[in-house]
């Protein structure tokens, strides 16, 4: 029986996410065996520094990619938002699974259960490791103070509950739901309050770009709507040259054959921002069998079983929105945010 080796980070959430992908693959391919190999990444080891300060794009992916390269694993399951928009040569995202709720959630200290960010006392401290969240929320909730909090979900929840430093922390709703911690979600933030990170809520399966066998194997996991939304989001971020060290956020929706993409950039303190929305006519295609193409990758993603036209339209939408924001002065906001972040 052929064994497919699946790489993952060691955290409980990463394991849950990987187990869910493997369970789907097992159901699709009962004749194959799957072995899960867990490892620690740089991002898991450096816990005393804000993510945006470490200055490394592949914080949570590098060691896993190393194992892929050395043929120690055949595929790796990631949170899509951890995967840079430009992957190292030789790798591709072979599947993007159906997205869960992409919005951010607020988890409150037990003594503030029932509150919202708006009703928290003046000068309450809110923990987040994301510049994107802090910039947007500072602008909306100026009575609060935002501080960095690092560690996996379990660590962050423990810091919130056991120490008196934080009144609340901001986490991705999808992660909390996957962990089964629905009861801790005190408030879900709507796009008007806080737009989400590119790819948030979706899982990406990374493989060797030339490994046609494995590409075919995982390609069936592609969710067409999630794929098109995430291509648009990733193209927007790539064209802005954004990453962890600058506040960039998005919101996408498919409705009646239209893909709507809202994107924004913020200064670090949230005082300066540029946002806009564009739409394109894109019908969510059914999967189909497609012949190989010369360069099938778009923003690091290979989806040969989804028609090319809608993928290109989604990518063009992302690029067009980025160009619109750049024409309105986004580059200056991002450059200043980068410099300030590097200087701190």
Q: How confident is the model at residue 18 (pLDDT cuts 50, 70, 90)?
A: very high
pTM of the full predicted structure?
Answer: 0.91
- Is residue 91 a contact partner of residue 208, using CB atoms and an 8 Å limit? yes
The secondary structure of the chain, three-state, reads CCEEEEEEECCHHHHHHHHHHHHHHHHHCCCCEEEEEEECCHHHHCCCCCHHHHCCCCCCCHHHHHHHHCCCCCEEEEEHHHCCCCCCCCEEEEEECCCCCCCEEEEECHHHCCCCCCCCCCCCEEECCCHHHHHHHHHHCCCCEEECCCCCHHHHHHHHHHCCCCCEEEEEHHHHHHCCCHHHCCEECCCCCCCECCCCCCEEEEEECCCHHHHHHHHCCCCHHHHHHHHHHHHHHHHHCCCCCCCEEEEEEEECCEEEEEEEEECCCCCCEEEEEEEEECCCCCCCCCCCCCCCCECCECCCCCCHHHHHHHHHHHHHHHHHHHHCCHHHHHHHHHHHHHHC
- 91 beta partners: 208
pLDDT 10s digits, 283-292: 877 766 555 5
What are the sequence ranges of the domains in the chain? 4-101+198-343, 104-188
Does pLDDT of 74 surpass 50? yes
pLDDT 10s digits, 161-181: 999 999 999 999 999 999 999
- Is residue 287 a contact partner of residue 305, using CB atoms and an 8 Å limit? yes
Does pLDDT of 5 surpass 50? yes
Query: Which residue, chain included where needed, has tokens 């660590």?
Result: 155
Q: How confident is the model at residue 11 (pLDDT cuts 50, 70, 90)?
A: confident
Name the more confident of 6 and 151: 6
Structure confidence at residue 56 (pLDDT): 43
Does pLDDT of 54 surpass 80? no
What does the CA dihedral 174, 176, 181, 183 come to, rounded to 10 degrees? Answer: -80
- Is residue 205 a contact partner of residue 61, using CB atoms and an 8 Å limit? no
- Is residue 314 a contact partner of residue 282, using CB atoms and an 8 Å limit? yes
Residue 284 CA to residue 310 CA, distance in Å, equals 7
Asked whether the domain spanning 104-188 has the same topology as the one spanning 4-101+198-343, the reply is: no
The mean pLDDT value of the chain amounts to 90
Query: Which residue, chain included where needed, has tokens 């945006």?
Result: 52
| CB-CB neighbours of 78 under 10 Å | 24
Query: Tell me, which fold does domain 4-101+198-343 have in CATH?
Result: Double Stranded RNA Binding Domain (3.30.160)
Residue 75 CA to residue 29 CA, distance in Å, equals 15
What is the percent of the chain where pLDDT is above 90? 77
pLDDT 10s digits, 133-143: 999 999 999 99
| CB-CB neighbours of 3 under 10 Å | 9
Structure confidence at residue 294 (pLDDT): 52
Active site residue 161: no
Structure confidence at residue 295 (pLDDT): 57
Per-residue pLDDT averaged across 29-53, rounded? Answer: 71
Lowest mean per-residue pLDDT among 149-163, 186-200, 217-231, 266-280: 149-163
Q: Which of 19, 48, 74, 82 is catalytic?
A: 82
Does pLDDT of 47 surpass 50? no
pLDDT 10s digits, 93-138: 999 999 999 999 999 999 999 999 999 999 999 999 899 999 999 9
Does pLDDT of 199 surpass 70? yes
Q: How confident is the model at residue 269 (pLDDT cuts 50, 70, 90)?
A: very high
Q: How confident is the model at residue 244 (pLDDT cuts 50, 70, 90)?
A: low
Q: What are phi and psi of 137, to 5 degrees?
A: -75, -30
Q: How confident is the model at residue 243 (pLDDT cuts 50, 70, 90)?
A: low
In terms of phi and psi (left: phi > 0; alpha: psi -120 to 50; beta: otherwise), the region of 85 is alpha
Q: How confident is the model at residue 344 (pLDDT cuts 50, 70, 90)?
A: low
- Is residue 7 a contact partner of residue 73, using CB atoms and an 8 Å limit? yes
The two tokens of residue 260 are 């709507």
The top-level CATH class assigned to 104-188 is alpha beta
Does pLDDT of 236 surpass 50? yes
């Amino acid at each position: 029986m052929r064994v497919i080796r699946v790489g993952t980070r060691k955290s409980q959430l990463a394991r849950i996410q990987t187990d869910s992908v493997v369970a789907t693959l097992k159901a699709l391919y009962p004749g194959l065996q799957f072995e899960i190999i867990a490892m620690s990444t740089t991002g898991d080891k450096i816990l005393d520094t804000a993510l945006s300060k470490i200055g490394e794009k592949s914080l949570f992916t590098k060691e896993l990619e190393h194992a892929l390269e050395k043929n120690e694993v055949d595929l790796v399951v990631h949170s899509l938002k951890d995967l840079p928009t430009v992957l190292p040569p030789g790798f591709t995202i072979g599947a993007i699974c159906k997205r869960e709720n992409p919005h951010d959630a607020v988890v409150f200290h037990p003594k503030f259960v029932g509150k919202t960010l708006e009703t928290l006392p003046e000068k309450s401290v809110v923990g987040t490791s994301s510049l994107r969240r802090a910039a947007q929320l500072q602008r909306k909730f100026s009575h609060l103070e935002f501080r960095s909090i690092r560690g996996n979900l379990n660590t962050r929840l423990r810091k919130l509950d056991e120490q008196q430093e934080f009144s609340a922390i901001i986490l991705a709703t999808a992660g909390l739901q996957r962990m089964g911690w629905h009861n801790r979600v005190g408030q879900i933030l709507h796009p008007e309050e806080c737009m989400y990170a590119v790819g948030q809520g979706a899982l990406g399966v990374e493989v060797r770009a030339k490994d046609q066998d494995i590409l075919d194997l995982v390609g069936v996991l592609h969710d067409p709507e999630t794929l098109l939304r995430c291509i648009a989001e990733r193209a927007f971020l790539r064209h802005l040259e954004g990453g962890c060290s600058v506040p960039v956020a998005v919101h996408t929706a498919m409705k009646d054959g239209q893909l709507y993409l809202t994107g924004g950039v913020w200064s670090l303190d949230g005082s300066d921002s540029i946002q806009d929305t564009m739409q394109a006519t894109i019908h969510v295609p059914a999967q189909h069998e497609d012949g190989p193409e010369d360069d099938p990758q778009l923003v690091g993603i290979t989806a040969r079983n989804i028609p090319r036209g809608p993928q290109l339209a989604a990518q063009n939408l992302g690029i067009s929105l980025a160009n619109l924001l750049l024409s309105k002065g986004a580059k200056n906001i991002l450059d200043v945010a980068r410099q300030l972040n590097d200087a701190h």
